[in-house]
Each structure stands twice: as structure tokens, then as C-alpha cells.
């Protein structure tokens, strides 16, 4: 990442507020108003835990910073048969690399009508892996623009 990109990301995160993207993501993925209010009142870390609770098994998981596509395939139980097959077509060299090294190549593996794969930084040393319905991809990318890798 270039210095200019890093600067844009830093100032974007600062101006937006730390957890705005977390609450926005939950809203996009169907969380109800009471749940969103609970997220807004919680600490940053608690807000992320709530997001994970709301997506796990349906829209994604959290993986360690050094995870690879192979790890994602093992842990991401909500993949459809078609999504799993598409991801398994990745070259072995790509499947073994850490996700932060090849985020663009990984996100390009799933194309509509399949859900999109998105990788988003957490407040810690891990990543959210999201499966985003095609009709929500543009809004999801806008919501997470300072946090996506």
C-alpha cells in the first residue's frame, strides 16, 4: 500500500468513526433496529463481536491474520456448493498464500450470480471474511471502503 493510500485510509477511518462500518455492514446484511442500536452503544470490540454473531453461519467468519484460502475453505461453512467449487478452482499457489497478500485475486474468484467474497480488517489482528449477495456488493464496498483489503 502506498503512503498516499495509507493516508486516505487513516483519515477516512478517523473522519468516519471507528465502528461506523461495522454497524453499516450489519444494517446491510439485515440486522434489526434493536440490534443496531445495541451495536452503537457498545465498545468497538463488543460491536465487532456482535457483528460476528449476526453473520456467522450465514454471511461470513473471522479468520486469523495469517489465514489462507485453504483455511477459509475449511472454516467457512456457509459456502454454497457452487461457491465452494469456484474457490477450489484457485491455483494451488494462490490457495496457500496469506489472504492479505492476494486479496484482489481472491475476491475475483466469486462472480455473480454467486455471492461476492470480501475481506475486511478487524480492530485486532484478524480479518472478517464476508459473502455478500450480488445486489449488496456496491453498498458493502462503499460502507467498508476504508477497511477492506
CA 29 – CA 47 distance, rounded (Å)? 15
Percent of the chain with pLDDT over 90: 81
Question: Which pairs from 17-21 meet CB under 8 Å and 24+ separation?
Answer: 18/44, 18/123, 19/44, 19/47, 19/48, 21/120, 21/143, 21/144, 21/146, 21/147
DSSP 63: E
pLDDT-based confidence at 16, cuts 50/70/90? Answer: confident
pLDDT-based confidence at 131, cuts 50/70/90? Answer: very high
Mean pLDDT of 133-144: 96
DSSP assignments along 8-35, one per residue: HHHHHHHHH-TTHHHHHHHHHTT--HHH
- Reading across the β-sheet that carries 116-121, which strands appear in turn? 60-64, 126-132, 116-121
Q: Is 137 in a helix, a strand, or coil?
A: helix
Q: In this predicted structure, what is the pLDDT of residue 122?
A: 92
Q: In this predicted structure, what is the pLDDT of residue 11?
A: 65
**Does this model's pTM top 0.75?**
yes
On the 0-12 / 13-18 / 19+ scale of CB atoms within 10 A, 81 is exposed
Amino acid at each position: 500500500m502506498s503512503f498516499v493510500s495509507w493516508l486516505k485510509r487513516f483519515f477516512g477511518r478517523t473522519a468516519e468513526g471507528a465502528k461506523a462500518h461495522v454497524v453499516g455492514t450489519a444494517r446491510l446484511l439485515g440486522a434489526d433496529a434493536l440490534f443496531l442500536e445495541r451495536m452503537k452503544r457498545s465498545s468497538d470490540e463488543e460491536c465487532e463481536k456482535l457483528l460476528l454473531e449476526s453473520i456467522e453461519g450465514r454471511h461470513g467468519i473471522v479468520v486469523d491474520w495469517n489465514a489462507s484460502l485453504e483455511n477459509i475453505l475449511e472454516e467457512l461453512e456457509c459456502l454454497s456448493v457452487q461457491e465452494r467449487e469456484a474457490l477450489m478452482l484457485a491455483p494451488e499457489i494462490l490457495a496457500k498464500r496469506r489472504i492479505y497478500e492476494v486479496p484482489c485475486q481472491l475476491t475475483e474468484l466469486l462472480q455473480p450470480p454467486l455471492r461476492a467474497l470480501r475481506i475486511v480488517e478487524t480492530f485486532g489482528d484478524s480479518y472478517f471474511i464476508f459473502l455478500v449477495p450480488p445486489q449488496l456488493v456496491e453498498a458493502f464496498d462503499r460502507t467498508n471502503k476504508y477497511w477492506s483489503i
